[in-house]
Structure 1
Amino acid sequence: MAMTDTETAARSRNALLSALVPEMAAAVDGWLARLAHERRLSPKTLDAYARDLTLVMNRLTLHLGERPTLAAMAALTPADVRAVLAARRAEGVAPRTLVRLMAAARSFGRHLEREGLGKVGALTAVRAPKVPRSLPKPVSVADARALADPATRAGEDREPWVLARDAAVIALLYGAGLRISEALGLTRAMVPEPGAGDQITVTGKGQKTRMVPLLAQVTQAIADYATLCPYVLEPEKPLFRGMRGGPLSPRIVQLAVERMRGALGLPDSATPHALRHSFATHLLARGGEMRAIQELLGHASLSTTQVYTAVDSTKLMEAYRAAHPRA
C-alpha cells in the first residue's frame, strides 16, 4: 500500500533527525514544526524541505569532516557555502535544485536566528544560482476539450465509470483550474448537483480556501461519474475513488492523461498540471483580468500569475511571424 503524504513527510523527517547530532536534531525538529504550524505547509512541502536539508547536511558533513553542530553552522563562511554548492554542482545537480537546497538552508538559518541559536550569515551572503524561468506549456482549447471527453477513450477496455471518473477529474483541472491534489481532495458534499449551485470551496496550498465557479459542463461530468460509480459516495468521504473503492491516486490520473496524449498525438508536456496552465492561459487570451485569474488559481503572489502574460505574448508573436508577409 502506498504511503500517504503525511507518512512520507514523517519518514523524511525521521531520516533527517537520525543523521544529526542531538542539539542540531532538536533545532531541525523545531524548524519543521514551525513550518507545519505557523506557515501551514502541506505534508508534501514539508517532505521536500526535509529532503533538501538532508542533502545540505550530508554535504556539510563531508566538507567539515564531522556532523555539523550549531556552533559549526554559525561559524560557516561564504567559502564553505560555495564549496557545498560546487560539490553538488559537480555531482550533476541542476541549478533549479541548487536554488531549492539554498532556500531550505536559508529557511533553517532564519529559524536558528529567530530562536537565538546562532546567526548563519554565510547563507545569505552567497547568491543562489540563476535559473532561467520556464514558461508554462498549455494545450490548445480543442485538445483540452478532447482530454476531458470520455469519448476520447471509448476504445479502451475499461469500466464506463472509470472513464467517467477520469473525465470528471480532468474537467475540474481545465474547467476550474484546480491542482490535481485539490480535485482529489473534494468530498461528495462539496460539489453541488447540476442546477443546484455553480461554485465550490477548494482548499489549496497552505490550507488556504478559495471559492471557484463551476461550469455546468463540469458539474454534469461529476454527476455522470457519481451515477455510474459502483461505490457509495458518502457526503464527507472522497468524491473520486479508485478501483477498490479507496481514494483515487494522482498517479492514476497522470497515467490516464499519458494514454490520451498518445492517442491524440500530444507532446509529453501535456500533463494534468498543463490543463491548469491552459485554464489560466485561455482565460487571459479571452480578456480575463489578471487579479481575477490569480484568485481563481489560488496564487499567493500576483507575480506567479503574471507568467501567463509571457505565454500569451509568445503565442501572439508566433502568430504574427507565421501570418505577416514581412515577418
Structure 2
Amino acid sequence: MIERGDPCRDLGSLVVPRAGSLAATGDLWEPYRLLDSSGEPIAAVAAYFGELQAAGRSAATQRSYGMALLRWFRFLWAVEIAWQEATRVEARDFSRWIQIGSKPARPHWRAPDQPPVVKTKRTNPVTGKRPPGEKYASSTIAHCETVLRSFYGLHLDAGTGPLVNPFPLARAKRPHAHHNPMDRFEPQRVGLFRPRQPKRIPRQIPEEVFNDLFARLSTDRDRALVAFWVSTGARAAELLGVLRSAADPGQQLITVVRKGSRALQQLPASPDAFVWLRLYQQQVHGLVPAGPDDPLWWTLRRPFRPLNYHAARAMFVRANALLGSNWSLHDLRHTAAYRLARDPETPITDVQWVLGHASLTTTQIYTTPTPADVIDAVLAHHRRRSEPQPQAQPERLGYRPESLDVLFGRSKP
C-alpha cells in the first residue's frame, strides 16, 4: 500500500476493478443511484443528484454525471482512499490514469463468466470513423473533470467534504493577453487537470451514401424516423419524445422538447417525412394508443411499448451493418445542419434557430468544409493543372475598316 500523498504511486500496476454500479430505479424523484461494491447507495452522490434535479437537469444528465462519478469512486476504491479524504494527489493520479490507462474490460452480456475478448479497432472504410477504442476519449476525460469539480464544490460549500477541492481551477493568467479582436473571448480559467480538447469537424453522411442507407431501412416507422431526423436536425431523444398531437402534417411542423432549455419548439420537416409517418400510423392503427398525449413512436413487436433511444439505435445499427458503415444517430443531425448551412438562401441565424444552439459560434462549425470536400476540390485543382491549357492567340493590330472608309472617302452618305 502506498502512503497517502506519496507522489510515486505505481499507476502502471494499479488494477481498477469494475466494482459498484449505476442503477436505474424508475423513480421520478431518484432516477439513478450509485451503488458501492456491496450494493449500498452512496449518500454523497444521492445528495448531488438531488442538487442536479433541483437545477432542472434531466434524468439523462444524471446518468451521464453518475458514470463519471462511478469511474472516480472505482479509482478511490482501488487506491483505498475515502472520497472525503481525497486530495489533489489523488485527483492528479486519477487524471493520469484515465488519460493513459485502458478502460476496465467488460464481458459480453451473453457470457458474463467468460473473459472479455479484445478486438482490434479499425477505421471504418465507408465512414472513415474509428469505433470506440480501449482508451477513454478526451471528451470523456474532460467531462469527468468537470463533474468531479462540481461534485466536490457542492460538498465543500455544504461542509460535508474535504476542506479543499481536489479538482481546482488552473492558475489565473493575464486576462485576454494578445487577444485578437476578431475572435470570441474564451473562458480564462479551466480545471487544472482538464486536458485540451481537439477541434473536430462534425461528419455528415454524403448524399449517395444516405440514399443507400435509407434504402436498407425495413419498416415505414424507421423510414419516417430517419426522414424526420435528417430534415429537422432534431436530436435523437428530442424526436423520440414527441407526442402524437405534436405532429402537424398540414403545416409540415413537428413540436419537440429541447434538450437544454426544455422549451417547446416547432420544427419544419420535409414532406416525405410526413408521408412515411402516415404510412406508419396506418400500419399500427388500432394496435397502439392514439390519444393526443400518447407517444408518437412505438415498438413494432408485442407487447407494444413506447420506442426508446436504445431500441432506435439498435434499428440504425442494423441498417449500418447491411451497408458496412458505422454512422450514428447524431450524424443525421450533423447532416441536416450541413444541408441547411450550405443553402445560400438560408441565413445562418435560421440554422441556429432550427438546431437550438445558444451561440452562433456553435452553428458556424457547419460552414467549415469537410475533409471530403477539401480533398475533392484539391484533386479537381490538380486535374485542371494537368490538362493542356489553350494558348491565347495574340490580337492582330490594325485599323478599323470603318475608320479607313472615312479616311479615304469611301463612306456611304
Tell me the TM-score normalized by structure 2. 0.64
Q: What amino acid maps onto 2:141 in structure 1?
A: L
Residue 96 of structure 2 is matched in structure 1 by 86
Residue 228 of structure 2 is matched in structure 1 by 172
State the SS of the aligned residue for 2:146. Answer: helix
Residue 284 of structure 2 is matched in structure 1 by 229
Q: Against the structure 1 CA distance between its residues 190 and 88, is the aligned structure 2 distance closer, same or farther, given a 3 Å change threshold?
A: same
Deviation string for 1:41-97 (max 9, x for gaps)? 22122112112112213323444x33222xx35xx23x3321122233343242333
8 Å contact 1:173–1:183 — kept in the other structure?
yes
8 Å contact 1:9–1:44 — kept in the other structure?
no
Q: Against the structure 1 CA distance between its residues 4 and 55, is the aligned structure 2 distance closer, same or farther, given a 3 Å change threshold?
A: closer
Q: Paired residue for 1:309, among 351, 367, 383?
A: 367
8 Å contact 1:212–1:296 — kept in the other structure?
yes
Q: What amino acid maps onto 2:142 in structure 1?
A: V
Shift of 1:186: 1.1
Shift of 1:139: 0.7
8 Å contact 1:294–1:302 — kept in the other structure?
yes
Q: Paired residue for 1:248, among 307, 315, 319?
A: 307
Q: Paired residue for 1:141, among 207, 210, 216?
A: 207
Residue 215 of structure 1 is matched in structure 2 by 270
Q: Paired residue for 1:298, among 346, 356, 361?
A: 356
Shift of 1:235: 1.9
Deviation string for 1:149-204 (max 9, x for gaps)? 5xx45xx6xxxxxx111111111110111222122111111112x3x222222112
Deviation string for 1:95-114 (max 9, x for gaps)? 33322211110121332344
Question: Structure 2 regions of 5+ residues with no counterpart?
Answer: 1-22, 103-134, 171-191, 387-413
Residue 35 of structure 2 is matched in structure 1 by 15
Question: Structure 1 regions of 5+ residues with no counterpart?
Answer: 157-162
Q: What amino acid maps onto 1:138 in structure 2?
A: Q
Tell me the TM-score normalized by structure 1. 0.79
Residue 150 of structure 2 is matched in structure 1 by 107
Q: How much is the aligned-residue C-alpha RMSD, in angstroms?
A: 3.2
C-alpha distance in 1 between matches for 2:78 and 2:94: 9
Shift of 1:17: 11
Q: Paired residue for 2:165, among 112, 120, 130?
A: 120
Shift of 1:137: 1.7
Identical positions, percent: 23
8 Å contact 1:5–1:44 — kept in the other structure?
no
Residue 61 of structure 2 is matched in structure 1 by 45
Q: Paired residue for 2:237, among 181, 190, 194?
A: 181
Shift of 1:323: 0.5
Residue 321 of structure 1 is matched in structure 2 by 378
Q: Against the structure 1 CA distance between its residues 7 and 172, is the aligned structure 2 distance closer, same or farther, given a 3 Å change threshold?
A: farther
8 Å contact 2:149–2:166 — kept in the other structure?
no
8 Å contact 1:144–1:275 — kept in the other structure?
no
State the SS of the aligned residue for 2:266. Answer: strand
8 Å contact 2:48–2:154 — kept in the other structure?
yes
Structure with greater helix share of residues: 1
Q: Against the structure 1 CA distance between its residues 53 and 4, is the aligned structure 2 distance closer, same or farther, given a 3 Å change threshold?
A: closer
8 Å contact 2:167–2:193 — kept in the other structure?
no
State the SS of the aligned residue for 2:33. Answer: helix
Q: Against the structure 1 CA distance between its residues 198 and 307, is the aligned structure 2 distance closer, same or farther, given a 3 Å change threshold?
A: same
Q: What amino acid maps onto 2:238 in structure 1?
A: E
Q: Against the structure 1 CA distance between its residues 234 and 53, is the aligned structure 2 distance closer, same or farther, given a 3 Å change threshold?
A: same
Q: What amino acid maps onto 1:68 in structure 2?
A: W
Tell which deviates more after alignment, 251-260 or 123-132.
Answer: 251-260
Q: Against the structure 1 CA distance between its residues 29 and 254, is the aligned structure 2 distance closer, same or farther, given a 3 Å change threshold?
A: closer
Residue 159 of structure 1 is matched in structure 2 by none
Shift of 1:225: 1.1
State the SS of the aligned residue for 1:241. Answer: coil
C-alpha distance in 2 between matches for 1:168 and 1:217: 8
C-alpha distance in 2 between matches for 1:145 and 1:246: 29
